[in-house]
Chain A
Amino acid sequence: MKKFLLFTLKTLIFTIVIAVALDFIYTAIYLQSSNRGKVDHVYNSKKENFDVVILGSSRANNHFVAQMFEDKGLKTFNYGMSGGHLFEADLLLKLMLERHYKIKNVILEADLNLSNKRRDYGISSKFLPYLHQSETVKKHFSNEDDFLEMYYIPFYRYIKFDERIGFREFYNTTLKKSTNVLNHQGYYPLINRKGNMKNNIVNLKPLLHNQYYEEIKQICKDNNINFIAVMTPMCENTKGIEYFNKVQKLYPEIHNYENVVVEDKYFSSCGHLNDTGARLFTARILKDFFSK
């Protein structure tokens, strides 16, 4: 039995050593990456100056045509992330400021994402390789339920989110394969119709004080950044469209642009404008906020 316990101990030690070694290798590779996505792009960037930074979910990513801002002479990047919540938008902004970005305006898409203050498991995992390197990332995740295991168990975060930061992503990062996420200054145009032109958001309720929304607002205030929060368009056939009025009541400073583009021909799916729709919408934003 003693022999077996020693064998088991040896196996356990093996497992721990392998996990520590893998954790070290994966983290080292991710620390070198800057062309796979918006998170590593920001994390591994140096000081940048922007006239406009766009934050939010896919409803920011697919709706704000950064090039149209650039055409007006405004240095812009669309940091909207498909699937992202305000948790990730807030952290991304914090990382930018940690890297001494100079930002004049932040446009935040704040509408459907106000209904929760959870993190998006997929998008937020992109920050996890930096958990031990960045105090900002560590602090931001510190109140999460799974923080302790992610922080202290070697390689656990890469296992838990293997779909996003596991072997496949590690392999592509090692080969320095770039993605199309950073093309068009971060804007991702939707061309074809992909989804149904109907949506049901009856069960969504905007939270009274969304912690991450408030944090973004406060960060902008503290850093003299002009904060523009907007609601972006939904298709006409949306059940529970009064959600946007509720947002307006709770957060009067958020500009309601939900109905500035309405026709189905401008949508790729009910919650996402196609490229033509996005151009119409961006033109309106430029006119209202950047016409001077």
Chain B
Amino acid sequence: MFFNSLAFAIFLPIVFFLYWFVFNKTKSSQNALLIVASYYFYSCWDWRFLFLLVFSTFLDYYTGIRIEKSTNDKGRKFWFWLSIIINLGFLGIFKYYNFFSTSFAQMLTTVGFKASPILLDVVLPVGISFYTFHGLSYVIDIYFKRIKAEYNFVDYSLFVSYFPLLVAGPIERATHLLPEVKVKRTFDFNQAKEGVCQIIWGLVKKVVIADTCATYANAIFDNYSSMNSLSLILGGIYFAFQIYGDFSGYSDMALGMSKLFGLELLRNFNYPYFSRDIAEFWRRWHISLSSWFRDYLYIPLGGSKGSKAMQVRNVFIIFVVSGFWHGANWTYLAWGFLNAVYFLPLLLLNRNRSNIDEIKLNWNWDSVRTISSIVMTFCLSTIAWVFFRAKTITDACTYLKRIVVNREFTSQYLVNERYNYEILLMIGLFVLVEWNNRTRVEPISGKYNTVKLALAITAIIAFGTYSDYKEFIYFQF
């Protein structure tokens, strides 16, 4: 059941109605309804993995309490590590086992041994990377005494399984979401209206921008060996907007529908393609994951303290692990590594926090420099996206090499019977809308709300891509 499916369009109003009209008496009844709805939502993907979700929830709930109740350090450590090992164990088995097994066999073959990998015939449970990280952050926070353990199982389950964020985030923190689910929600018209606007804007991003760009990006990436330089450059740009529209569109829908239930989730995207350097890009892209790695990996490793060598090591670790989090493939590792390389000069020159102020443009040279920095950062991230999108590292390198050596910058007719440049105007318009609303969560609310709402609905109906349906990219992670 996708957010942009007919089934979900029926599911959401039913849950909304029951939530505010039938189960609105207490916060327990509200939470209980959301839990049932979330488990139903998850079982629509594959009911068998519901047991894994419930087990994971119970494990972290129980170990959290045991950590808090342990009177000695040994007990605390035992329950802490038990939770970490089991959580990461599940993730390892379902997501990474086959990758390691294949890579190990390939390595043995390279050094002269004949080895065939033993592979597991398992499907990756949808959302496992997201709900595992929810649980991990909760247990780690209790262990380091940042939060108290949650004793109400329903409240805790809702924190882990809440359906808008269950399958593709944002990755919530117990410190943020748990206090919200512990109080009865009352209906707020403005919040709900903003929610509807954010859902609609998320839909624009998904069906108009992401899915349309995907049609072109796929035609170019899947046939890159016959594409000219211009098509390859455009292919990179289209994929950059595909993945942005897809994932930030999903996040907008998740945040929007949460507002309908009176809950505010963490913001996950803040116009990342207007970043002036890679450090700023990572403060604006998939914010919940970046901050998760910052708080639970980078800082415990020493963060930006210690020698420069240590700092460089930490940066590479966090980016490579972040890449690996996305999927068990060398291309994701390369993508993470490349971003670390981009980050390195900023770190060495102590300029990784130089662009934290709001972007303002005037008619002066500073603004020209700002625009150049934004364009440069976009180019760098697009090059990295080529690794993210390509099937193998060799494919990505050949793709990039061909941009340089082909040197043909003409229009090209693609296998999807469209010209390579056709959607540039649409992307340009989208960038313009985002730029003019970069200080706001979404562009529909506020002044001229009715007109903007009508335009957004028209865009979804008339310009959306529906027949060539594409799943949300981040569901596979």
Using CB atoms and an 8 Å cutoff, list the residues of chain A in contact with chain B.
1, 3-4, 7-8, 10-11, 14-15, 18-19, 22, 155, 159-164, 166-168
**B466 part of interface (Cβ distance < 8 Å):** yes
Verify B193–A4 contact, CB threshold 8 A: yes
* Interchain CB contact (< 8 A) of A1 among B20, B450, B454, B467: B20
The answer to whether A162 and B464 touch across the interface, beta carbons within 8 angstroms, is: yes
Interfacial chain A residues near B457, Cβ < 8 Å: 11, 14-15, 18
* From B187, B458, B466, B467, contact of A4 by CB (8 A): B187
Name the prevailing secondary structure of the A interface residues: helix
Q: When the two chains form the complex, which single residue of B196, B422, B458 contacts A11, counting CB atoms closer than 8 Å?
A: B196
Q: Which of A3, A8, A19, A160 contacts B196 (CB 8 A)?
A: A8
Expressed in whole angstroms, the Cα–Cα distance for A162 and B416 within the complex equals 13
What 18 new A-B contacts, CB under 8 Å, besides A4-B189, A11-B196, A14-B453?
A1-B20, A1-B187, A1-B189, A3-B189, A4-B193, A7-B189, A7-B193, A7-B196, A11-B457, A18-B454, A18-B461, A19-B461, A22-B461, A22-B462, A163-B468, A164-B467, A166-B462, A166-B466
A18 touches B458 (CB 8 A): yes
Q: Hey, which chain A residues are within 8 Å of B458, CB to CB?
A: 18, 22
B-side contacts of A7, CB under 8 Å: 189, 193, 196
Is there a chain A Cβ closer than 8 Å to B465's Cβ?
A: yes
Alpha-carbon separation in the docked complex, A155 to B460 (Å) = 12
Contacts of B401 in A (CB 8 A): none
In whole Å, how far is A58's beta carbon from the nearest beta carbon of chain B? 15
Q: Smallest CB–CB gap between B454 and chain A, Å?
A: 6
- Known A-B contacts A1-B20, A160-B467; the reply to A11 vs B187 at CB < 8 A is no
B187, A14: Cβ atoms closer than 8 Å: no
A8 to B453, CA, bound (A): 12
Question: B171-207 vs A: 1/0 string, CB under 8 Å?
Answer: 0000000000000000101001100100010000000
Whether, in the assembled complex, B418 has its beta carbon less than 8 Å from a beta carbon of chain A, the answer is: yes
Hey, which bits of chain B sit against chain A, CB under 8 A?
Answer: 20, 187, 189, 192-193, 196, 200, 418, 422, 450, 453-454, 457-458, 461-468
- With CB as the reference atom, state the residue of chain A lying closest to B465: A162
With a CB–CB cut-off of 8 A, which chain A residues contact B418? 168
A162: chain B residues within 8 A (beta carbon): 464-467
Shortest CB–CB separation between residue A16 and chain B, in angstroms? 10
Q: How far is the CA of A19 from the CA of B454 in the complex (A)?
A: 11
A11: chain B residues at CB < 8 Å are 196, 200, 453, 457
Residue pairs across A and B with Cβ atoms less than 8 A apart, 15 shown, are A1-B189, A4-B192, A7-B196, A10-B450, A11-B196, A22-B462, A159-B461, A160-B467, A162-B464, A162-B465, A162-B466, A163-B465, A163-B468, A167-B463, A168-B418
In the A-B complex, the 5 residue pairs with the smallest Cβ-Cβ separation, listed nearest first, are: A163-B467, A3-B189, A4-B192, A159-B466, A162-B466
| Given known A14-B457, A15-B457, contact A161–B187 (CB-CB < 8 A) | no
Q: Verify B461–A161 contact, CB threshold 8 A.
A: no
**Residues of chain A lying within 8 A (CB to CB) of residue B468:** 163
CB of B391 to closest CB in A, whole Å: 22
Shortest distance between the CB of B298 and any CB in chain A (Å): 42
Give the chain A neighbours of B467 by CB distance below 8 A: 160-164, 166
A107 to B454, CA, bound (A): 50
Contact of A160 among B192, B462, B466 (CB under 8 A): B466
Q: How far is the CB of A17 from chain B (nearest CB, A)?
A: 9
State A18–B196 Cα separation when bound (angstroms): 18
B189 contacts A159, CB within 8 Å?
no
Contacts of A163 in B (CB 8 A): 465, 467-468
